[in-house]
Amino acid sequence: MQLKKYNHPFLFYGVAFIVPWLCWFILAWLSNSQLWDNPTVVFWGSILGLIGLFGPFVIAMVLILPDKEMRQELLSAVFNFKGIRPIFWILTFVLFPISILVAQVISLPFGHSVSQFKFVENMSFSAGIFPAWFLLIIAPILEEFGWHTYGIHCLRNRLNLLMTCVIFGIAWGIWHMPLSFVKGYYQNVLVETGIIYSINFLASLIPYLIIGNWIYYKTNRNMFLVVVFHLLAGFSNEIFQTHPDSKVIQTVLLLIFSIIIICKEKAFFFNKSHEVIL
């Protein structure tokens, strides 16, 4: 893999931010206006929101596909499953379901109800004309094929893996911010629930990325696993009647796990040499 070819961070992040922010701030204005009572406005506003989600994916493909070597690297990341250790399959599929259940168990002595373990009848957020489950499926695919095919690599080309995770986590959190103003969207629901839960969402991105990128690079940058990891992170926090406090506990658990990984794999996270992680 030639990380040196991922050498347009300003172009990638510029487009990846400008296009979604433009779409999402317009959507935010529409969703909080009287125009939102018009089904036609809701329809086109929802489409606008989806277009914003495509931003990082489109610019990543524009930068990758014309180059033969980068194109082959992308195909390998999608279809190559050789040499993946069982532990990474297991972690990909069970980490988030197990961590949220453990967090709910820990929350019980603090007065939270066992009803948290019941399945929800409806998702906690809406997305215009699109059902919430559709966003929980399409977002991981589009985001990961944008961020993890170019966005992460262009940072890793210049930084060690830990700094890549931290800087990207901050950027990714900022990228989501306009959605906090879109009526009914997940980030907007968090804001209305309480500022601590919005902060928790932003804080949770760091351990999420540390663990996720550890799995990603250890599995030869397998895109299937990184998409499933993202998808299960979303669904695991939506399928149960989880109290928001339990999600804060989950973040603490994931942070502890990520620190353990960093301590055990110091060279992997701190050495800037690309060969250490490839």
Distance in angstroms (rounded) separating the CA atoms of residues 41 and 31: 9
Q: What is the pLDDT of residues 8-66, one digit of tens each?
A: 999 999 999 999 999 999 999 999 999 999 999 999 999 999 999 999 999 999 999 99
pLDDT in tens, the chain (278 residues): 567 889 999 999 999 999 999 999 999 999 999 999 999 999 999 999 999 999 999 999 999 999 999 999 999 888 888 889 999 999 999 999 999 999 999 999 999 999 999 998 888 788 889 998 999 999 999 999 999 999 999 999 889 999 999 999 999 999 999 999 999 898 999 888 889 999 999 999 999 999 999 999 999 899 999 999 999 999 998 999 999 999 999 999 999 999 999 999 999 999 876 554 44
Tell me the CA distances in angstroms from 182 to 32, 42, 72, 73, one per residue in order.
Answer: 7, 12, 38, 36
At 26, list the tokens. Answer: 């317009």
Q: What are the structural domain ranges in the chain?
A: 3-276
Distance in angstroms (rounded) separating the CA atoms of residues 90 and 108: 27
Residue-wise DSSP of 194-226 = -HHHHHHHHHHHHHHHHHHHHHHHHTTS-HHHH
At 136, list the tokens. Answer: 């929980």
The CA dihedral of 15, 204, 45, 182, to the nearest 10 degrees, is: -120
pLDDT at 274: 55
Residues labelled as active-site residues: 143, 176
Whole-prediction pTM:
0.92
